[in-house]
Structure 1
Amino acid sequence: MIDSKPLNTQISSRSSLSRHDVDTLPEPFLYRNIIGALQYLMHTRPELAFAINCACQLMQSPTTTHWSTVKRTAGCLDDCRSTTGYCIFLSDNLIS
């Protein structure tokens, strides 16, 4: 992912992911491994929930299109820091 280009959204609004794509990944283990890690990330990054949910529904037979969507969601893999953030307030108090 060294030559990847940054994008503003986690998943394309015109994305048409389908289970019936024919370009299946030769080794789906990496796809499933990344999805598992992203599921833990949803607890601290709720804005990723929709994109991760879409990717989770396709774990049975992932394709190269699904893989490119997951790479778009994964963010910066160099330093594992979040590229976005959030604040949750309870009244005037910051709780997360």
Structure 2
Amino acid sequence: MKQIISVCVVILCFCKTVESVKCLDCQNVAQPYDCTTVTECGRHEECYTRKEITDDGNIYYNVGCKDEQACRAMTPFGKRDKSKRATQICNKCCNSDLCNLQSLCGSK
């Protein structure tokens, strides 16, 4: 009986690890590597990177977790946010630990 419980606990721990990824989580940073906050995404979430350019030419990145269905529906570029006076020039998702630290959307 103890062996069965131990095996179940190990399987549950493994499933939790497989189902969730760790991602950088910051808004309006010059580069993703400037972000020092790491978060564990929820079930059915992936890491994302969004690159925006403001009306005055400044480029910044937003990184974090996003629902995998929302990732599939994202347009890669061109969406304008009038309230922030910025245009999204890249949206990408990935699904491994800290993958949004890598060179998604032309980040360094």
TM-score greater than 0.5 by the shorter chain: no
Scaled by the length of structure 2, what TM-score is found? 0.26
Scaled by the length of structure 1, what TM-score is found? 0.28
Which one has the largest radius of gyration? 2
The answer to which structure has the higher helix fraction is 1
